[in-house]
Amino acid sequence: MSRLVKPHGGGELKPLLLSGTALKDELARAKGLKQVKMSSRETGDLIMMGIGGFTPLEGFMTKLDWQGICDGYKMANGLFWPIPVTLSTDDEGVQEGDEVALVSDTGDIMGTMKITEKYTIDKAHECMQVYKTTDLEHPGVKMVMAQGKYNLAGPVKVLSDGGFKAKYGDQFMTPAETRAKFEALGWSKIAAFQTRNPMHRSHEYLAKIAIETMDGVLIHSLLGALKPGDIPAEVRSEAIQVLIDNYFVKDTVIQAGYPLDMRYAGPREALLHALFRQNYGCSHLIVGRDHAGVGDYYGPFDAQKIFDEIPKGSLETVNMNIDWTFWCKKCGGMASQRTCPHTKDDRILLSGTKVRAMLSEGQDLPVEFSRPEVAAVLKKYYASLSAEQNVKIELKGHSAA
């Protein structure tokens, strides 16, 4: 009998991705259906339903689900869920009862759906409840406000993983695959480390704190769309792997990726991260400073506090809170605000803007901030970026002449 946490909802994993003859037949049928185009975020949500990451969802949510989640973290059936998983359209011709093909923004047929409800929402209400702001500068708010006029609800059949397995190979692991890997290693206490960035010394320290008390850590990297300026997934993955290969004990860490886009919803997104990590088999989620945040929309530890505010028993996967970490020159090593008595002048802290500027200029990052092997991967990426930008500038100048 498995010692891993049960999938969300207490049942079995519920992957909706078809295979074999069923996939072939449904794909052929889908080609004759009216199409509904999905955004990148909606496509990621559909793929998560396909691989079982959003167990036990069977499709996109109804208006009662949407309302209940916005106002009280609960779907219409009472199941805990922190952020609405919805599909939108501006198509006036799509009606309840229709069967439609779900198409990505690149034109690929990703699934089919039986529309059971077509409804409108108050987008500003969702933004205030989920993101705590209606500021269009917030990337999550911008996504919601850009949605279509109508939401469509109904069960789905998923026909593609979006090419993630082909692109990322073994790094793209489904919940069934991570659970099998944990079982094979004899792990039952697993902490998930969520990241959309390369791992510097502070992130390494967080993971190693977890390893001290857990069987292992799943470094779970986002493979979907990010905001402009974030490091591409393939570069981030390479930087993380070089860190694992050089600075972690073998079989204490697994690197994997998942297909969602970032919502930047701060505290609410931390809850979503814990929910789908439960489906992946993780008993804990590492929650550090400014988890899933952006700008100054959330307090630095709001994502930790929210776990105390939701109804008890909402999730089996629990938060593992760790304070802000850094290298302290006086301590002579990594420390946190809970363990270091010294001042900020003794701590090596670099903003993301400063790191990007140094890497873009070919400068070395302090070894106390980043392992040299990680910095080398990032410097190579920024050098190629600068070269591409220079080529564009030269071409632009040549055509103008």
Please tell me the total number of residues recorded for the chain in this structure: 401
Average pLDDT, the chain: 93
The fold for domain 20-162 equals Sulfate adenylyltransferase (3.10.400)
DSSP 78: S
Question: Which of 105, 348, 358, 378 has the alpha carbon at shortest distance from 230?
Answer: 378
The fold for domain 168-258+264-322 equals Rossmann fold (3.40.50)
* CB atoms closer than 10 angstroms to residue 135: 12
Which tens digits make up the pLDDT trace of 10-61? 999 999 999 999 999 999 999 999 999 999 999 999 999 999 999 999 999 9
Enclosing H/E stretch for 384: helix 372-400
pLDDT score of 174 more than 90? yes
Task: Decide: 327 and 348 in contact? Cβ < 8 Å.
Answer: yes
Task: Decide: 78 and 24 in contact? Cβ < 8 Å.
Answer: no
Which tens digits make up the pLDDT trace of 235-280? 999 999 999 999 999 999 999 999 999 999 999 999 999 999 999 9
Angle subtended by helix axes 352-360 and 372-400, to nearest 10: 70
Q: What integer pLDDT is reported at residue 40 of this predicted model? A: 95
Q: What integer pLDDT is reported at residue 387 of this predicted model? A: 58
pLDDT score of 389 more than 60? no
Query: Would you call 50 exposed, middle or buried from its count of C-beta atoms within 10 A (0-12, 13-18, 19+)?
Result: buried
The label of the residue with tokens 């990621």 reads 44
Question: Which of 318, 256, 243, 330 has the alpha carbon at shortest distance from 287?
Answer: 318
Per-residue pLDDT, averaged over 119-134, amounts to 98
Amino acid 131 reads Y
277 conformational bin, left if phi > 0, alpha if psi -120 to 50, beta if neither: alpha
End-to-end CA distance of the chain: 72
Task: Decide: 348 and 332 in contact? Cβ < 8 Å.
Answer: no
Query: How far is it, in rounded angstroms, from Cα 371 to Cα 373?
Result: 6
> Do 20-162 and 168-258+264-322 come out as alike in CATH topology?
no
Query: How far is it, in rounded angstroms, from Cα 396 to Cα 234?
Result: 28
Query: How far is it, in rounded angstroms, from Cα 357 to Cα 196?
Result: 19
Query: Would you call 42 exposed, middle or buried from its count of C-beta atoms within 10 A (0-12, 13-18, 19+)?
Result: buried
Beta strand residue intervals within 228-305, DSSP E: 253-258, 284-287
Which tens digits make up the pLDDT trace of 69-112? 999 999 999 999 999 999 999 999 999 999 999 999 999 999 99
Task: Decide: 192 and 273 in contact? Cβ < 8 Å.
Answer: yes
Query: How far is it, in rounded angstroms, from Cα 372 to Cα 384?
Result: 18
Tokens linked to 4: 């891993």
How far, in whole angstroms, is CA 150 from its chain's centroid? 25
Q: Please give the C-alpha separations between residue 216 and each of 188, 192, 199, 285, in angstroms, as whole numbers.
A: 9, 9, 17, 12
Tokens linked to 59: 């499709």
Domain boundaries, the chain: 20-162, 168-258+264-322
Catalytic positions, please? 196-197
Task: Decide: 122 and 116 in contact? Cβ < 8 Å.
Answer: no
Q: Phi and psi (nearest 5°) for 335?
A: -155, 175
Q: What integer pLDDT is reported at residue 367 of this predicted model? A: 95
